[in-house]
Amino acid sequence: MTNFEQQRVDATAYFRSLQDRICAGLVQADGQAQFREDTWTRPGGGGGRSRVMVDGGVFEKAGVNFSEVFGQMSPEFAKSLPGEGLDFSATGVSLVLHPRNPKIPTVHANFRFLVKGDRAWFGGGADLTPYYPYREDVIHFHKTWKAVCTRHPAPVDYAKFKKWCDEYFYLSHRQEPRGVGGIFFDYLEGDVDAVFRFVRDCGDAFLDAYVPIVQRRKNESYTEAERQFQEFRRGRYVEFNLIYDRGTVFGLKTGGRTESILMSLPPVVRWLYDYRPAPGTREAELYDVYLKPRDWAEES
């Protein structure tokens, strides 16, 4: 067994257990609903477990997906990734959580390991998409990821990963960020064992980064107008995932399960024509203050 093969086995086992632990933590945070699990197989090789929670006490829709797939890429798609040939394997966890209460932000995270020919690398990250942001929540989220990054040597670099996240989760056709960012990294290779330790640290930190925000905001009151604004901003989420998201493209291009790939989409969304928030409102504050990259981890 080559080092890459052993790393794939170890990463697969870790990601499978991470899905279990994150789902258990989210069931506890929700306090009402359970996850439905679907196991699936990919015709070209591999499969996964998709877990989705709907109409919970906190989460209107929450999806946590584990997959381990392998086989051959199309020649056209293979050219877009490092490594020789068409053979590949990929394993990872991807999640998106859409709370019902607009005072609780949507969150996304994914952690993955890919092997293609003579190359192997880790990628992943986590980012926060608030609708009515609270400063302490945004700072907490960023500080959590900075603390994880500072525990690891190069190529881990918080400043680089934070900037990468700001640039990646950006809707260029709208000229606006999707949310307040977090960390994003891809093509981390070299000392694969050291990088894997970092990725495990990230996965283990996810609940600590997000659940305290849920606990602080789940009993906040909200109006129908605030709910409608949340649905409008969810439209930006949909646009990003369908136009730019690498995970969506990878899953569709490699013959993944469509229901699992698109589980990230929210259940209720609206698009408004030429919407502009009224000056001085909390909606305007989102645009004027929070949808502008800044070093939140250094604030208090």
DSSP 199-247: HHHHHHHHHHHHHHHHHHHTT----HHHHHHHHHHHHHHHHHHHHT-HH
Residues forming the active site: 108
Residue 248: half-sphere exposure toward Cβ, Cα within 13 Å = 15
pLDDT one digit per residue (tens) for the chain, 300 residues:
456 889 999 999 999 999 999 999 999 999 999 999 999 999 889 999 999 999 999 999 999 999 999 999 889 888 889 898 998 999 999 999 999 999 999 999 999 999 998 899 999 999 999 999 999 999 999 999 999 999 999 999 999 999 999 999 999 999 999 999 999 999 999 899 999 999 999 999 999 999 999 999 999 999 999 999 999 999 999 999 999 988 888 888 888 888 888 888 999 999 999 999 999 999 999 999 999 999 999 998
Give me the pLDDT at residue 1, please: 41
Domains of the chain: 3-298 (3.40.1500.10)
What secondary structure letter does DSSP report for 297?
G
CA proximity to 90, closest of 259, 238, 246, 265: 246
pTM of the model: 0.94
What is the length of the chain? 300
Reported as a single tens digit per residue, the pLDDT across 207-258 is 999 999 999 999 999 999 999 999 999 999 999 999 998 888 888 888 888 8
Residue pair 68/45 in contact (Cβ under 8 Å)? The answer is no
The DSSP output letter for 45 is S
